[in-house]
Amino acid sequence: MQHLILVINPGSTSTKLALYRNTEQVNYVNLHHSNEELAPYNTIVDQRAFREELIERWLGEIGVPLSSLTTLVGRGGLLAPIPGGTYRVNETMVRQLEQAQYGSHASNLGALLAYDLSVRLNIPAYIVDPVVVDELMPVARKTGLPQIKRRSIFHALNHKANAKRLAVELGRRYDELNLIVAHLGGGISVGAHARGQVVDVNNALSGDGPFSPERSGSISPRVLIDYYFHTGMTKAEIMRKLIGNSGLVAHLGTNDGREIERRIEEGDLASRLCLEAMAYQVAKEIGKMSAVLSGEVDRIILTGGLAYSALLVSEICKRVEYIAPVRVLPGENELEALAFGAWRVINGEEQARDYGAEGVNR
């Protein structure tokens, strides 16, 4: 049977859409939204009807009736911590996203838009491996302050998709392998995948771990406290500094890996040092995760947009290849990952999970 799956991946100023016929992508568009278009909306959720109208208009333009869709899948947003997998979009999830109970982010719209259309069409709607996937083992949650526990927030969708892709390449099951996956993008997350569970990972959203194109990475608490009080920044200002305006963009004025490589080719020693330092910190994080897996690592995966950088990849590989063979799977491939997550449920490879019905990791 042919299934027509609509994939919805909202960003802060864009909505990426794709149509899949089973596992084959047949249409794709990246709808960009100007500041003027978004100005009337006070919150992310307020944009819901605006974006839904754009989706329907695009489907009309390519001659695809709404009634021909059989499945909807949206990018998962900020929810309660949950194990990885494909989840049905239900009323509990929708209510929490509408209220931004766990935070406001453009990705929250993915499930909401999928849900709205699914109700109208009476077809299923799913999300797949949202950023809040939490499979940390208890020992990984502890910090030196009893009041604070480590949280799992990372590029779960791309981590899991590429781990499963590699498992297929190796003729193995994901839950048979020990893998280290490093997503290299605007944020960088490095996770230890122990037989299908991400048992430890740096909190990429908060800038934990290696510094990245836009984030500061881990900094000594005393140094950070001194910096905060010296500058007199507000909490909001320092968060914007550490999470959006640090890393390569702070050192070099750009977060574009291609531009940095061009500078390096022209002999820019400052750009080379920054790229090598970022690679060095990624390699250190991979080494930490190899300890989590007691050195029993089947493969290391480098993925994300910056994995297209041959220079960055080579700098990381030379420090970590002794741990395990490295497989480079560049790009984010989020639309494909979402479609394949829904497809695994459709063809019976995986059971859809019910959000709120099976317990939440704390």
| Architecture per CATH, 4-134+335-354 | 2-Layer Sandwich (3.30)
Segment 232-255, tens digit of pLDDT: 999 989 988 988 899 999 999 999
Which amino acid is present at 125?
A
Spatial strand order in the sheet of 326-330: 197-201, 188-194, 178-184, 299-304, 326-330
Q: What pLDDT score does 362 carry? A: 43
CATH code of the domain made up of 156-331 = 3.30.420.40
Give residues with Cβ within 8 angstroms of 272, minimum separation 6.
264
Position 315 pLDDT exceeds 80? yes
Angle subtended at Cα 220 by Cα 216 and Cα 223, rounded to the nearest 5 degrees: 95
Separation CA 29–CA 18 (nearest Å): 7
Helix (H) or strand (E) holding 127: strand 125-128
3-state percent breakdown (helix, strand, coil) of the chain, nearest 5? 45, 20, 40
Q: For strands 24-32 and 86-88, give the pairing.
A: unpaired
Separation CA 254–CA 243 (nearest Å): 15
User: 294, 315, 76: which is closest to 180 by C-alpha?
Assistant: 294
Residue range 181-187: mean pLDDT, rounded: 94
User: 10, 71, 62, 69: which is closest to 41 by C-alpha?
Assistant: 10
Position 360 pLDDT exceeds 60? no
Q: How far apart are the first and last CA of the chain?
A: 41
Residue range 267-285: mean pLDDT, rounded: 97
Q: What pLDDT score does 361 carry? A: 46
Residue for token pair 């109970």: 101
Q: What pLDDT score does 94 carry? A: 96
Position 334 pLDDT exceeds 70? yes
Segment 55-113, tens digit of pLDDT: 999 999 999 999 999 999 999 899 999 999 999 999 999 999 999 999 888 899 999 99
Q: What pLDDT score does 301 carry? A: 98
Angle subtended at Cα 190 by Cα 184 and Cα 196, rounded to the nearest 5 degrees: 120
User: Do the domains spanning 4-134+335-354 and 156-331 agree at the CATH topology level?
Assistant: yes
Identify the band that residue 12 occupies on the pLDDT scale cut at 50, 70 and 90.
confident
Which amino acid is present at 52?
E
Phi and psi of 275, rounded to 5°?
-65, -40
Q: What pLDDT score does 46 carry? A: 95
Per-domain residue ranges of the chain: 4-134+335-354, 156-331
Helix (H) or strand (E) holding 36: helix 35-38
Q: What pLDDT score does 139 carry? A: 97
Position 294 pLDDT exceeds 80? yes
Segment 104-151, tens digit of pLDDT: 888 999 999 999 999 999 999 999 999 999 999 999 999 999 999 999
- β-strand partners of 73: 7, 126
